[in-house]
Amino acid sequence: MKKQWFMLLLASALLCTATALAQPALVKKNGSTHFEIDGKPFVMFTGELHNSTSTSESYMKEIGVWEQMKKANFNTVIASCSWDVIEREAGKYDFTSVDHVIKNARENGLKVVMIWFASWKNSASTYAPSYIKRNHEKYPLVKNAEGKFLNILSAFGENSKNADKKAYEALMRHIREIDPDHTVIMMQVENEMGILGSIRDFSDLAEKAWKGQVPEDLINYLVAHKGKLFPELEKVWKVNGYKTKGTWEEVFGKSHSNTEDWKEYPYYTEEIFQAYYYAKYVGEITAAGKAAHNIPMYVNNWLKQPGMGAPGGFPSGSPLPEVIDVWRAAAPAVDFTAPDIYMPEYKWVLSQFALSENPIFIPECRTDIAKALYAYGEYDALGFAPFGFDGPQAVGMGAGGASNEDFANLGKCYGLLSGMGTMLTDNYNSDKMRGVLVTDDDQSPTVEMGDYIITFKSTASMRAFDYGQGAEQLAAENAALAARARTTQSGALIIQTGADEFYIVGINAIISFAAKDSKATGRVLYDTIEEGVFKDGKWIAGRNLNGDENRPNITGVGAKRIVVYKSKVNAAASRWE
Ligand code: DGJ
């Protein structure tokens, strides 16, 4: 009998361990962050629904969005949960709007990243339940410098925070109960928070904190991370004498308002101050949610960009790279911060967000496959998501709903990448995997891989193949090509699998190989070029490309396997190589 009990206990202990292992988690390995579900690597191929879509099951069915995602090879959907919908009556929670998303995702073999639209959405507080919106005494708003209230809950509002926290905790408890198989794999807490319309909060509570001391937890963090802080934070702390005590202006200095260069940090002390109190508020909510159901949780950003000047022009306090340390100090439960990228400076944004080992996840972007490939290949991105791919685009939102062609390309691209199995994650943080993006500022990016330098150009710059058709005909063919040319979306993800073997998934890319040491080794020629797809991590070759097609270029979206060799063949003498 005793033995049986022991076996039973052992079995349940093993079961518990298995369940614990199954939890979606961010795992640091070999200098990169891996996202794992059930202990297996998972890369998100996803898109974000329009804000109101997931509030109605019938609407989602009506627009056929589940079929749309399956057809486009999504493995994850980013859907939202609205606080005002789940808590129409104070303290009473109705999770119908969450349940149908989880049920339908599960039935369609998709995972869910769920956004908690709560105290803040694009700075404002329109998603707070009615009982909060109508009681500003109890749930205070931000005040600007002129003493006017803005429609933004103040991060100093204890009652607002507690109500948000209670609802979020209830949501996470509910998800834990109904979702043992982890259909919901990640949470976004709030959406693009921060103050628009004022450099900081000037409400009475905020004023008191502004005149008070910099809190100890932030000071302790600064001391522990001295020398490794975001450069501007390090600079202002240093310039002001590395103080470990004092008011915000004593420790970080009096702000300047120079807005000439949008990449500068005007009103930085105000931004640091505001970031700290947003982080405190959201950090507490996140920690409570994790205590109920421990899955990864992140925050996202409306970015600082040209024309937006000082904080207030962009959301002040938002978890931007320049205040990532402040967020880490005050909100340790938040796993990472993510950029919503609609601005052209895509590469710069990623370089900033990748500082301090912050993993890259792009929850909102335009439907641009080249950008997706660049993020996966160059930054080990956990995921990439075009915003608002479903249904018609709301008027005036400017998010760039997907055209049919772009969306079809996205589907092809996700199909190719998901067929690669663990090829992406096996190559995280390795120079065997790279991403390239052709931009207006960088029209022929190159990557060095092994013995080779690979150059990419957009097919928009393609010239007709000279097969001896004569100058006039050649000019006509070039004119036709120019007319068809696309100027946008050109990029690739490259994986090197042998000294001379490369797989390239790309879009609209003219690709050329050169030897690093061309003097010694001669020209690079193509041994074999295949086009194909991947299935379960294996290459399935399609056409073998030779003759007129003996070039590795990718027009449209596609994948190629390219084996090169170095030859001493003289260029002038060899026209048909
Ligand atoms: C950014 C927001 O985060 C999204 O929810 C959505 O409102 C888009 N902007 C619309 O452009």
Among 340, 362, 366, residue to substitute to test ligand 1 (most atoms within 8 Å of Cβ): 340
Is residue 365 packed enough to be buried (19+ CB in 10 Å), middle (13-18) or exposed (0-12)? buried
356: left (phi over 0), alpha (psi -120 to 50) or beta: left
Residue 238 pLDDT: 98
State the Cα angle at 35 between 12 and 427, rounded to 5°: 125
pLDDT at 529 over 90: yes
Check if 340 has its Cβ closer than 6 Å to any atom of ligand 1.
yes
Q: Which two tokens stand for residue 451?
A: 């013995």
pLDDT at 13 over 60: no
Average pLDDT value for residue range 371-379: 98
Residue 484 pLDDT: 62
Q: Quick: pLDDT tens for 167-210.
A: 999 999 999 999 999 999 999 999 999 999 999 999 999 999 99
Among 54, 189, 191, residue to substitute to test ligand 1 (most atoms within 8 Å of Cβ): 191
Is residue 525 packed enough to be buried (19+ CB in 10 Å), middle (13-18) or exposed (0-12)? middle
pLDDT at 21 over 90: no
Check if 52 has its Cβ closer than 6 Å to any atom of ligand 1.
no
Check if 364 has its Cβ closer than 6 Å to any atom of ligand 1.
yes
Average pLDDT value for residue range 211-233: 98
Residue 2 pLDDT: 41
Parallel, antiparallel or unpaired: strands 383-386 and 44-45: parallel
Helix axes 158-178, 268-292, angle to 10 degrees: 40
Give dist(CA 362, CA 80) in Å, integer: 16
Residue 18 pLDDT: 44
What domains can be seen in the chain, in order of their start residue? Answer: 39-139+158-194+275-418 (3.20.20.80), 446-573 (2.60.220.20)
Nearest CA to ligand 1 atom 2: 122
pLDDT band for position 404 (cuts 50, 70, 90): confident
Give dist(CA 278, CA 18) in Å, integer: 36
Nearest CA to ligand 1 atom 8: 399
* Residue that wins the pLDDT comparison between 444 and 568: 444
C-beta separation of 86 from 97 below 8 A: yes
Check if 387 has its Cβ closer than 6 Å to any atom of ligand 1.
yes
Q: How far is the CA of 76 from the centre of ligand 1 (A)?
A: 19
> pTM (2 decimals)?
0.93
Give dist(CA 267, CA 210) in Å, integer: 13
Q: Which atom of ligand 1 is nearest to the CA of 387?
A: 8
Q: In what order do the strands lie in the sheet with 25-29?
A: 25-29, 32-37, 40-41
Check if 53 has its Cβ closer than 6 Å to any atom of ligand 1.
no
Among 192, 302, 390, residue to substitute to test ligand 1 (most atoms within 8 Å of Cβ): 192
First to last CA, the chain: 80
Residue 567: in which H helix or E strand, if any?
Answer: strand 554-567
Q: Quick: pLDDT tens for 262-295.
A: 999 999 999 999 999 999 999 999 999 999 999 9
Check if 82 has its Cβ closer than 6 Å to any atom of ligand 1.
no
Q: How far is the CA of 253 from the centre of ligand 1 (A)?
A: 34
Residue 522 pLDDT: 85
pLDDT at 45 over 70: yes
pLDDT at 60 over 80: yes
Residue 180 pLDDT: 95
pLDDT band for position 8 (cuts 50, 70, 90): very low
Parallel, antiparallel or unpaired: strands 433-437 and 491-498: antiparallel
Residue 340: in which H helix or E strand, if any?
Answer: strand 336-341
Share of the chain above pLDDT 70, in %: 91
Residue 440 pLDDT: 86
Per-residue CA distances from 430 to 42, 156, 354, 486, 524 (Å): 18, 44, 16, 31, 24
Q: How far is the CA of 122 from the centre of ligand 1 (A)?
A: 7
pLDDT at 16 over 60: no
Give dist(CA 199, CA 191) in Å, integer: 19
Average pLDDT score, the chain: 92
C-beta separation of 502 from 496 below 8 A: yes
Q: How far is the CA of 430 from the centre of ligand 1 (A)?
A: 34
Reduced to 3 states (helix: H, G, I; strand: E, B; else coil), residue 150 is strand
Residue 480 pLDDT: 80
Go through 231-253 and write b for each residue having 16 or more CB atoms within 10 A of its CB, e for each that does not.
ebbbebbeebeeeeeebbbebbb
CA dihedral angle for residue 203, residue 328, residue 282, residue 363, rounded to 10 degrees: 120
pLDDT at 519 over 90: no
Give dist(CA 72, CA 70) in Å, integer: 5
Average pLDDT value for residue range 424-429: 98
Q: Which two tokens stand for residue 390?
A: 């479903």
Average pLDDT value for residue range 29-50: 96
C-beta separation of 271 from 311 below 8 A: yes
Check if 191 has its Cβ closer than 6 Å to any atom of ligand 1.
yes
Among 302, 364, 367, 393, residue to substitute to test ligand 1 (most atoms within 8 Å of Cβ): 364
| Among 122, 119, 130, 121, CA closest to 153 | 119
> Beta-strand (E) ranges in 38-171?
40-41, 44-45, 76-82, 111-121, 141-143, 149-153
Residue 485 pLDDT: 58
Average pLDDT value for residue range 491-517: 97
Q: How far is the CA of 331 from the centre of ligand 1 (A)?
A: 24
